[in-house]
């Protein structure tokens, strides 16, 4: 009798896991009990595009996969993304998180992983602050140009690792925007240490152990899951302690009466003072600040610096592209002066190359997950409020219908017949909708100013061509390579 009951319970459980809980969602791969489809990622070809592409071919432009007990709905077609996530932006504005996120952050703080009023206020503050640096004296372009000049001087006539040189430059820009100082010679060991921590964090969060820690709380006592969780929290503590040191130093020197702001921490502390009589400083608490700094420091560094390193790798692998960039620079600029943003609209081939670098680098194999703020209807499916949902931009950027021969590096696909720059709305590396990247303006400025000035001054070459094979990671990183920066004049 007991064995019959156990058998019925087992069959009912399997029926529930494999059919019943899935019946209302768009179809997708069959989830295993408990782990869902997490194991499929470990078995798929790195860095993960392939499995999303396979699922789209098998299940269509919208499908569901399961991370442990959570259904995640993927929208993998540009026009469907447009008619949902752009058209009804507010319905897809929240961020999907698990119970681990508030544990990690000490509450609902920051911009990347928060929702509702907290997210709205932090996003507004971030956009406002970044925009203010870009206006008036054009402080932002000055900050970027001073790192461009330093990189050109460091690399001239040398064979170097572009990743490291670009990391220091991009790291210095975001550090300067946030805290008002750069990583010069005597601060480079501090930067190396922080960068290594960040690299470890990026690697750990994409492991199966971390996936289990995030989605199945009861697995957190298993030794390998606990180890991953402890590592993630240890790195958080180290980064938070670095941010707190910077905030304390700023508190010693800040002039609350001055209208000028040197960096984002200064802007935040002034807001904090304005709200000092409100509970939790009206969103401007010190916990909020360390979490916001974590978001901007991480998002502002890895993405841009990995894109630039991929960019040089693709150009080294496509010699005719470097020749065409040089010939455009020579015919338009006609001298060896530095290139500024004022030159941007006159260099269509370079801009097309940057577009193609972003498309090919395809930095996030899976985009961040949003959460529906109310029930939505997509292609006849009723998706409940609170479901995780993802505009899968990596699949769009490699969609062969939109970008024929998607794995070939062809800047010409972004040019019109008359040589002018073609506007291609499906090129969405910064994502779309209400959660579109708020650092886009800064990132675009960096990509243009670094690449334009590197090729204006140097001819790049390498004895062995850099590998363009990608490995797993939250943002895909290039394998290490070296190249020579030879003066052109």
Summarize the annotated binding site as residue ranges: 437
If one asks whether residue 112 binds ligand HEM (CB under 6 A), the answer comes out as: yes
If one asks whether residue 312 binds ligand HEM (CB under 6 A), the answer comes out as: no
Stretch that binds ligand HEM, among 48-56, 181-189, 226-234, 439-447 (CB under 6 A): 439-447
Looking only at residues 141 through 200 of this chain, which bind ligand HEM when binding is defined by CB under 6 A? none
Percentages of the chain per state (helix, strand, coil), in multiples of 5: 60, 10, 35
Q: What is the size of the binding site for ligand HEM (CB under 6 A)?
A: 24
User: What x/- string results for residues 70 through 99 when contact with ligand HEM is judged by CB under 6 A?
Assistant: ------------------------------
**Which residues touch 362 (CB under 8 Å, ≥6 apart)?**
49, 394, 397, 398, 429, 476
Element holding 459 (H helix, E strand): strand 458-461
Looking only at residues 367 through 396 of this chain, which bind ligand HEM when binding is defined by CB under 6 A? 367-368, 391
User: What x/- string results for residues 320 through 359 when contact with ligand HEM is judged by CB under 6 A?
Assistant: ----------------------------------------
Written in H, E and C, the secondary structure of 190-228 is HHHHHHHHHHHHHHHHCCHHHHHHHHCHHHHHCHHHHHH
Residue of 76, 111, 293, 313 that binds ligand HEM (CB under 6 A)? 111
If one asks whether residue 139 binds ligand HEM (CB under 6 A), the answer comes out as: no
Question: In whole angstroms, how far apart are CA 230 and each of 40, 192, 203, 204, 424?
Answer: 25, 22, 14, 10, 44
By beta carbon distance, the residue nearest ligand HEM is 439
DSSP line for 316-375: HH-HHHHHHHHHHHHHHH-SSPPP-GGGGGG-HHHHHHHHHHHHHH---SSPPPEE-SS-
Residue of 88, 94, 266, 295 that binds ligand HEM (CB under 6 A)? 295
Q: At 73, is the secondary structure helix, strand, or coil?
A: strand
Closest distance to ligand HEM from the beta carbon of 367 (Å): 5
Residue 325 and residue 342: Cα distance in Å, rounded?
A: 17
**Cα radius of gyration rounded to whole Å, the chain:** 24
Cβ atoms of 476 and 165 within 8 Å: the answer is no
If one asks whether residue 430 binds ligand HEM (CB under 6 A), the answer comes out as: yes
Q: Which CB atom, from 38 or from 177, has the smaller least distance to ligand HEM?
A: 177
If one asks whether residue 442 binds ligand HEM (CB under 6 A), the answer comes out as: yes
Residue of 84, 129, 215, 431 that binds ligand HEM (CB under 6 A)? 431
Q: Find the angle CA(214)-CA(225)-CA(198) to the nearest 5 degrees.
A: 70
Residues that bind ligand HEM (CB under 6 A): 111-112, 123, 295-296, 299-300, 303-304, 307, 363-364, 367-368, 391, 429-431, 435, 437-439, 442-443
């Amino acid at each position: 009798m007991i064995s019959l009951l156990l058998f019925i319970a087992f069959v009912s459980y399997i029926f529930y896991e494999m059919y019943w809980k899935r019946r209302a969602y768009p179809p997708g791969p069959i989830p295993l009990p408990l782990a869902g489809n997490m194991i499929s990622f470990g078995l798929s070809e790195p860095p993960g595009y392939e499995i999303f592409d396979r699922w789209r071919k098998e299940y269509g432009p919208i499908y569901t996969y399961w991370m442990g007990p959570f259904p995640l709905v993927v929208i993998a077609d540009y026009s469907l993304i447009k008619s949902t996530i752009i058209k009804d932006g507010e319905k897809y504005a929240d961020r999907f998180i698990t119970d681990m996120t508030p544990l990690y952050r000490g509450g609902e703080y920051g911009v990347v992983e928060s929702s509702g009023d907290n997210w709205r206020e932090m996003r507004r503050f971030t956009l406002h602050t970044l925009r203010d640096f870009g206006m008036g004296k054009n402080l932002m372009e000055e900050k970027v140009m001073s790192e461009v000049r330093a990189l050109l001087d460091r690399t001239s006539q040398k064979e170097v690792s572009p990743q490291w040189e670009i990391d220091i430059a991009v790291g210095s820009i975001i550090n300067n925007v946030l805290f008002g100082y750069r990583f010069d010679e005597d601060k480079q060991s501090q930067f190396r240490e922080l960068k290594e921590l960040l690299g470890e964090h990026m690697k750990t969060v994409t492991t199966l152990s971390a996936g289990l820690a995030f989605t199945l709380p009861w697995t957190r006592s298993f030794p390998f899951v606990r180890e991953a969780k402890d590592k993630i929290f240890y790195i958080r503590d180290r980064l938070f302690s670095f941010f707190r040191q910077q905030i304390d130093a700023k508190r010693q020197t800040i002039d609350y009466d001055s209208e000028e702001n040197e960096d984002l921490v200064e802007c935040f502390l002034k807001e904090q003072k304005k709200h000092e009589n409100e509970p939790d400083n009206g969103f401007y608490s010190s916990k909020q600040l360390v979490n916001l700094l974590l978001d901007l420091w991480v998002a502002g560094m890895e993405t841009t610096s990995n894109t630039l390193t991929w960019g040089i790798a693709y150009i080294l692998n496509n010699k005719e592209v470097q020749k065409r960039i040089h010939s455009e620079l020579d015919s338009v600029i006609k001298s060896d002066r530095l290139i500024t943003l004022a030159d941007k609209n006159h260099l269509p081939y370079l801009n097309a190359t940057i577009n193609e670098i972003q498309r090919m680098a395809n930095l996030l194999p899976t985009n961040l997950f949003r959460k529906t703020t109310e029930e939505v209807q997509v292609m006849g499916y009723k998706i409940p409020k609170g479901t995780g949902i993802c505009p899968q931009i990596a699949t769009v950027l490699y969609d062969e219908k939109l970008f024929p021969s998607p794995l070939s590096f062809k800047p010409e696909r972004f040019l019109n017949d008359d040589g002018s720059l073609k506007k291609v709305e499906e090129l969405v590396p910064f994502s779309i909708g209400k959660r579109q990247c708020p650092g886009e303006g800064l990132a675009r400025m960096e990509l243009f100013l670094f690449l334009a000035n590197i090729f204006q001054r140097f001819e790049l070459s390498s004895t062995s061509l850099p590998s363009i094979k990608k490995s797993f990671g939250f943002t895909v990183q290039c394998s290490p390579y070296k190249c020579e920066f030879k003066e052109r004049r």
